[in-house]
């Protein structure tokens, strides 16, 4: 079987990201199912679970989730050529979309069909975010402790309006403590 060079993989990764990011109107989380399908099922570069893992890593670093994740995925698949390819694939669609919106928004903002399309995109984006949350929950619900930590984190943000930084730090501390003093490992 013929192996692909890293440069060829970088070009393929760039195309994958351009296609996926073209539909990321509300952020990088929307691209997760598309990326999982392309990287796992179509090109067999990476398992869906690995893509999810890199997405989680991309979320904990400062900066945009999609760019952070693309750097991890690109480097894992094709080294520096993969990083360049995925970065181009993330940046170009966003740049051209912002350019388009900036130029034409004043002329099109009051057209009823445009308003309806934007509302439809917003609803679909929320549905995709819930889908991603469900997949993350499914992959991390290996123990009762992790489910409890997820419920506590949800309640802290949704019900008690606790600052998200405090929720993240508390979840991390609870996970470390449960690993140190518990019998089984917890992954959040």
Structure confidence by residue, pLDDT tens digits, 94-148: 899 888 878 887 777 778 888 888 888 888 888 888 887 777 777 765 567 777 8
Pair (65, 89) in one structural domain? yes
Q: Whole-prediction pTM value? A: 0.64
Looking at the fold, whether 93 and 129 belong to one and the same domain comes out as yes
- Do 47 and 88 lie in one domain? The reply is yes
Q: Are residues 102 and 42 in the same domain?
A: yes
Whether 75 and 159 share a structural domain: no
pLDDT at 143: 63
Q: Is the pLDDT of residue 61 over 70?
A: yes
56, 39: one domain: yes
Question: Helices then strands (H, E): number in the chain?
Answer: 7, 0
Res 73 pLDDT > 90: yes
Domain extent, residue 15, equals 6-140
Same-domain status, 61 and 133: yes
Q: Do residues 23 and 31 touch, judged by C-beta distance below 8 A?
A: yes
Distance CA 19, CA 82 (A): 16
């Amino acid at each position: 079987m013929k192996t692909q060079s890293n440069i060829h993989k970088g070009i393929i990764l760039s195309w994958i990201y351009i296609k996926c990011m073209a539909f990321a109107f509300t952020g990088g989380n929307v691209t997760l199912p598309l990326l999982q399908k392309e990287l796992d099922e179509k090109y067999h570069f990476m398992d869906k679970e690995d893509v999810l893992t890199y997405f989680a890593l991309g979320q904990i670093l400062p900066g945009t989730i999609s760019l952070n994740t693309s750097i991890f995925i690109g480097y894992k698949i094709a080294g520096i050529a993969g990083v360049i390819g995925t970065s181009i694939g993330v940046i170009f669609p966003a740049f051209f979309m912002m350019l388009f919106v900036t130029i034409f928004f004043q002329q099109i903002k009051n057209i009823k069909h445009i308003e309806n399309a934007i509302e439809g995109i917003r609803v679909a984006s929320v549905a995709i975010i819930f889908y991603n949350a469900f997949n993350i929950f499914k992959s991390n619900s290996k123990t009762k402790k992790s489910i409890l930590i997820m419920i506590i984190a949800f309640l802290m943000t949704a019900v008690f309006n606790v600052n998200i930084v405090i929720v993240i730090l508390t979840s991390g501390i609870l996970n470390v403590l449960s690993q140190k003093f518990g019998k089984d490992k917890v992954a959040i």
